[in-house]
């Protein structure tokens, strides 16, 4: 029996790859006759490059993190296309919880990354998991853009001072490849469902959110003839998608569609006898555009098994054979996160037993 393990990351405890590897270890410990394949999956955030790594060239670099500390990163290339992941240089996972502050964080490191990949014909940036809210202006600053206040003084852009920018200067002879920003949110640039919707996850207080929202609206006002507010996804990644569209003419594209195609996920699902997917929490929202729902949609056959840290509401889908929760025995979520590896290996054994009983 061929089992494909394609789980989303369990935030705060397990990456996509590690979650799959732990399950595979438990499955093989129970029954060596089962063949397992672990595939990293992502929706445009952390892990996107790992999902695409096969057959591509890895380029390593050093850049500034979201608060300026140096981080080690990489991007991928294949042919004339380079693939960048925003979370590599600007990710929330690069910060300690007490450091979360979208007024201060910057995408400058992404701009450094983009400079290194400027020789390609096209650059695809996977925009998700960021700690930033600067509409990508930090990255633009790294590319040579200058931003000025009402008195003509230069501003080093961050989320907290976007509202003070009154003009900008584009660098001479700027020669960039075609840029795509890949995201799977549809939020507009500003407003009730705009960029600031995600600011709380990045450490913003209600007072901070007002400052951040004013900044995003101010950036839009610099381009009165560009209908950025009408573009779905412009509010992604702290406004990076919208900012790059305004300043660089970047295209905003669906991340999972692109990732699934590049990784050949549909073919892998088709070849597998059983597909195991899941995420940290399964609830009423899981079937509404989340990564798990998109994987389920790849096959109408009833051959999926779900594994989650917590199941608040079981999915009602004809494609799902069974659903397992790491906290089904009443274990607190915090304890389950600390013991995630052990619990996932144990769940792998239970999953293998279920398949033995069902299929022999």
Look at the alpha carbons of 223, 187, 278, 294 in this order and tell me if their dihedral is positive or negative.
Answer: negative
Q: How many CB atoms lie within 10 A of CB 66?
A: 32
Among the ranges given (22-26, 226-230, 290-294), the one the predictor scored with the smallest mean pLDDT: 290-294
Residue 262 included in any domain: no
Number of domains in the chain: 2
In this prediction, residues 41-62 reach a mean pLDDT of 92
Q: What is the DSSP letter of 302?
A: S
Residue 327 included in any domain: yes
Q: pLDDT-derived band of residue 208, with 50, 70 and 90 as boundaries?
A: very high
296 and 235, same structural domain? no
CA angle 270, 273, 278 (to 5 degrees): 85
Residue 268 included in any domain: no
Residue 78 included in any domain: yes
Q: Does position 65 have pLDDT exceeding 90, yes or no?
A: yes
The CATH number covering residue 244 comes to: 3.90.1510.10
Residue 225 included in any domain: yes
Residue 264 included in any domain: no
**Whole-number pLDDT of residue 68:** 96
240 and 284, same structural domain? no
294 and 152, same structural domain? no
**Whole-number pLDDT of residue 288:** 66
Q: How far apart are CA 123 and CA 52, in angstroms?
A: 14
52 and 82, same structural domain? yes
55 and 203, same structural domain? yes
**How confident is the model over 277-328, as pLDDT tens digits?**
999 888 877 766 678 888 999 998 889 999 999 888 888 888 899 999 999 8
54 and 188, same structural domain? yes
The CATH number covering residue 327 comes to: 3.40.50.10350
Residue-range definition of the domain harbouring residue 124: 48-256
**How confident is the model over 80-113, as pLDDT tens digits?**
999 999 999 999 989 999 999 999 999 999 999 9
The H or E element containing residue 353 is helix 340-359
Mean pLDDT of the chain: 94
**For the chain, percent of residues with pLDDT exceeding 90:** 80
Torsion angle of C-alpha atoms 308, 309, 311, 315, degrees rounded to 10:
-10
163 and 53, same structural domain? yes
309, 300 contact by CB (below 8 A): no
In this prediction, residues 3-19 reach a mean pLDDT of 91
213 and 132, same structural domain? yes
Q: Does position 118 have pLDDT exceeding 80, yes or no?
A: yes
134 and 206, same structural domain? yes
* Residue where a domain stops, chosen among 256, 288, 322: 256
The H or E element containing residue 333 is helix 333-338
**How confident is the model over 133-190, as pLDDT tens digits?**
999 999 999 999 999 999 999 999 999 999 999 999 999 989 999 999 999 889 999 9
């Amino acid at each position: 029996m061929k089992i494909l393990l394609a789980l989303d990351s369990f935030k705060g405890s397990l990456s996509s790859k590690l979650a799959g590897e732990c399950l595979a270890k438990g499955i093989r410990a129970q029954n060596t006759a089962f063949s397992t394949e672990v595939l990293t999956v992502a929706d445009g955030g952390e892990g996107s490059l790992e999902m695409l790594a096969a057959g591509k060239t890895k380029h390593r670099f050093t850049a500034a993190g979201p608060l300026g500390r140096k981080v080690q990163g990489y991007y991928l290339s294949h042919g004339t296309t380079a693939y960048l992941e925003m979370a590599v240089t600007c990710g929330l996972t690069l910060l300690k919880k007490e450091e979360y502050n979208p007024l201060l964080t910057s995408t400058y490191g992404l701009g450094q990354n983009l400079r290194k990949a400027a020789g390609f014909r096209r650059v695809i940036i996977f925009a998700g998991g960021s700690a930033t809210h600067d509409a990508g202006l930090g990255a633009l600053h790294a590319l040579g853009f200058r931003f000025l206040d009402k008195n003509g003084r230069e501003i080093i852009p961050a989320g907290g001072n976007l509202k003070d920018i009154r003009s900008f200067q584009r660098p001479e002879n700027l020669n960039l490849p075609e840029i795509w920003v890949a995201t799977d949110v549809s939020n507009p640039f500003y407003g009730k469902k705009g960029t600031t919707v995600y600011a709380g996850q990045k450490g913003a207080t209600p007072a901070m959110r007002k400052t951040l929202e004013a900044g995003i609206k101010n950036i839009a006002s610099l381009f009165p003839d560009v209908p950025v507010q009408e573009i779905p996804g412009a509010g992604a990644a702290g406004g990076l998608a919208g900012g790059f569209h305004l300043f660089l003419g970047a295209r905003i594209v669906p991340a999972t569609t692109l990732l699934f195609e590049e990784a050949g996920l549909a073919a892998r699902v088709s070849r597998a006898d059983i597909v195991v997917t899941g995420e940290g929490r399964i609830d009423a929202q899981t079937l509404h555009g989340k990564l798990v729902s998109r994987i389920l949609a790849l096959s109408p056959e009833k051959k999926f098994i779900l594994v989650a840290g917590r199941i608040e509401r079981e999915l009602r889908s004809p494609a799902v054979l069974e659903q397992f929760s790491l906290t089904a025995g009443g274990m607190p979520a915090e304890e389950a996160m600390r013991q995630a590896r052990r619990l996932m290996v144990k769940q792998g054994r239970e999953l293998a037993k279920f398949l033995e009983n069902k299929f022999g």
